[in-house]
Structure formats: structure tokens, C-alpha cells
Amino acid sequence: MAGWYRRSPLPIRPLTRIKGGRPKPKPNRSDHLRWFPGPPGRFRVVRKPPGRQRYHPAGAEEIERFVGLIPSWEEISCDLDGVMLCAPWQEEYPDTEGLYGEHAIILFSWPRQPEERFRHSFTRQLPEVAGRLSLRERRKDRDYAVTWSPSQARAYVLLFVLLHEIGHHVDWLLCRRGRYARRGESFAEDWAADCRQRIWDCFLQAFGEIEPAAGQARGAGRLLHRD
């Protein structure tokens, strides 16, 4: 998800927004560099408290190890200051798992309860998630309820959420270089899917097999998608 909001603890520069008939001010990049200690242009992962009864499925060391698997990472990470792990802003982004603003990515913590509900609008991606991670999903009203193991949650955050937000950064880089106009969500998801396919075997070698949740056999998730 791209974009930003004024209550963010990390003021990344967003697109111009209008409120009350007036444009809202854009924070300067220098304002948020204080959250990423060290020289600008060096990728870092900053971990903030996850919030009460919440946790980060993928930690800083795992994120740094994961991005090393991405082809051409040194070029892709150009002007990407880092990733911040923090608690979500429930009143503004109740269903959001990650955000991208120019130069930085935020990944939100998860509740410790073992079940999460996918929004109905997300279900087009569910077949690949279920197939790759061997998830068992249940229909609940207009959503899907999913039970996660720790390795499934970590893989989902890295392979689906983080790669999607990196896709937004690649989109921004190509736009800045004058090659394309920004293409938004569709480009980010297509880029993430292509990268996921390319690094899948390397991911399993680096992080091990993805273990199913308790009470589920390996491969119990319905394989709804095949590469």
C-alpha cells in the first residue's frame, strides 16, 4: 500500500493530499532520517515496540537476510533508507500490513491471536498465498479466516507484504528516472510476484521449509495456484 497520513510517527513524503480545501503539507525527507541512524542511502531496519499483545513475525535480522536474496538489491535499494517495524495505527489503517512512502517502508506488527481474517478485496491473492505457504483457509462471512504458524507468518510478511512494498519503491525509482509514470498497486503486485518466483528456492534454502500451523498436515492448504 502506498501513501501516507499525518499521524504517522515516520513522516515519509507522500503524494499531495487536500483537506478542507487546502493542500496538506508534505514532511521533508530530512525529518524522517532521524529514525534511521547513519548516513542517508544506507538501508537499515529499525524495530519499534509492536504494541500490546502484538509481535513482529519477521525481525530485523531476518529482513536484512531476506533482502540479500533479491536480485540487483544494491540497485533496487538506492534511495531506500530502510524498513521500520512498529505498531499499527488502528484508527487509520485497521487492515493494513505495510506502507510505502518515498525512501522508507513500514511493516506493522501482528496480533498474537492465531487467526487472521483476509479482507474480501484481498482474495484474488489468496490462491497463491495458500498454495505457497500451505495455508488452510475458511470462509467467514465475506472474508477468509486463516490460522498461521510462525514460519508461515514470517514467510507471508517477507514474500508478500515486504516484496509488495519494495515493488512500490521500484515503481518510484523508474518514475524518477523518467522511464514510466507511476503505476501503483498493479505494478507493485506484479513486480512482487515475479521476484517471489525467482527467489523461491533461495528463500527455502535460507529460511528452511515452511512449517504448517498446529493440527495441519504439511501441504494441507488448498493448492489453488500453480506456477
Domain contains 10 = no
Residue 68 in any domain: the answer is: yes
Burial of 58 (0-12, 13-18, 19+ CB in 10 A): buried
Q: Which three cell numbers stand for residue 100?
A: 510505502
Of 78-82, 102-106, 135-139, 209-213, least confident by mean pLDDT is 135-139
pLDDT digits (tens, 9 = 90+) for 129-158: 888 888 877 776 766 777 888 999 999 999
Residue 189 lies in a domain: yes
Q: What domain range includes position 80?
A: 18-207
Q: Which residues contact 107 (CB under 8 A, 6 or more apart)?
A: 56, 58, 83, 84, 85, 86, 97, 98, 157, 161, 162, 165
Indicate the number of domains in the chain: 1
pLDDT digits (tens, 9 = 90+) for 37-90: 666 667 899 999 998 889 999 999 999 999 999 999 999 998 888 999 998 875
Cα end-to-end span (Å), the chain? 25
9 part of a folded domain: no
Is residue 99 included in any domain, yes or no? Answer: yes
State which amino acid sits at residue 80: L
**Residue at 181 is within a domain:** yes
Residue 199 near residue 207 (C-beta atoms within 8 A): no
- 212 in a structural domain: no
Tell me whether residue 2 is in a domain. Answer: no
Nearest to 102 by CA among 1, 12, 11: 12
The answer to whether residues 134 and 141 touch, using CB atoms and an 8 Å cutoff, is: no
Q: What's the mean pLDDT in 176-200?
A: 84
